Amino acid sequence: MHTVIAHTSCGASGCSAPSGDSVQAAIAIHIQPMVAACTTCAVNGLCLPLGFSKDETARLDTLISQRVKVKKGAALFHAGEPLQHLYAVRLGSFKTHLVSPDGRGLVTGFLMSGDILGLDAISTDRHACSAVALEDSEVCPISFSRLERLAGEFPSLQHNLNRMLSREIVRDHEMLMIMGCRNADERVAAFLVGLSQRFVRRGYSAHGYLLRMSREDIASYLGLRLETVCRSLARFRDMGLIIYQGRVMEILDLPALQAQVQYGGKQALI
């Protein structure tokens, strides 16, 4: 049986700020080390070794100590903690969130297999956000200092890291676009379509999936209130675009939903 990070006793969402070295502790007491191997990982085509040869991927393996399990609701790291590892999500999913000095919080991202956690910590050597598992999950810790060293003698690794960072910037700009000039329905539609696309890239169905996050998390991510998200979803349901029960979501008419993303499905007026 593998060691796991204990589920902190606070509720899944309102968790404020416990320990700090939970991850290190978890690694330390692993009994049967889980050997991480990019070479054999199901999502290596989406992750850091994207486009690498077998040899190159094998070199990357040397960076990764051991996989770490994170229980649903537990934090992988908190804002302010020093950067030691980036984390590749191997299995499961996470949300990252930011809390401003006055206590208002915002979900800045939902991450799934192949995504890299901790990129925003590189700038200050401290994590800028907190990462919380949305389900029982597994990550590959990547020592950042060793990653930088290896990248120096390994151009394609460096290039991939650059692209990963840049892609996050592009994604954030798209998010700003959504926050800055789209209404509630358009935001929720964009969210549903975006999730669908991410599931497809991971080999899952485009049409049916399980939302791992609460309505509140979705609302925060989209700059809305949870009631507003509920109402947008209900509207799409009434229009026959989706059906759902709680977090079980099915997309009935993907093209129509995609059309909702822009101009609420109305033809551009020309």
Partner DNA sequence: CGCCAAGTTGATCTAAATCAATCGTTGTGG
Partner DNA sequence: CCACAACGATTGATTTAGATCAACTTGGCG
- Name the site residues for a copy of itself (rule: CB under 8 A): 98, 100-106, 108, 119-124, 128-129, 148-149, 151-153, 155, 158-159, 161-170, 172-177, 179-182, 220, 222-223, 262-263, 268
120 binds, among DNA, a copy of itself, none (CB under 5 to 8 A by kind): a copy of itself
Q: Least distance in Å: CB of 133 to DNA?
A: 14
Among 184, 190, 241, 242, binds DNA (CB under 7 A): 184
Residue 210 touches DNA, criterion: CB under 7 A: no
For DNA, the closer of residues 45 and 240 by Cβ is 240
Other beta carbons within 10 Å of 149? 12
The pair of three-digit structure tokens given for residue 116, joined into one six-digit string: 């890299």
- Compute the distance between CA of residue 234 and CA of residue 154 in angstroms, rounded to an integer: 51
Whole-angstrom Cα Rg for the chain: 19
Interaction between residue 246 and DNA (CB under 7 A)? yes
Q: Which residue is listed with tokens 């990550």?
A: 139
How many residues belong to the site for DNA (CB under 7 A)?
A: 23
Q: Provide the edge-to-edge strand list for the sheet that holds 68-70.
A: 68-70, 137-143, 85-91, 116-117
Does 215 interact with DNA (rule: CB under 7 A)? yes
| Interacting residues toward DNA by CB under 7 A | 11-13, 183-185, 214-216, 223-228, 230-231, 233-234, 244-247
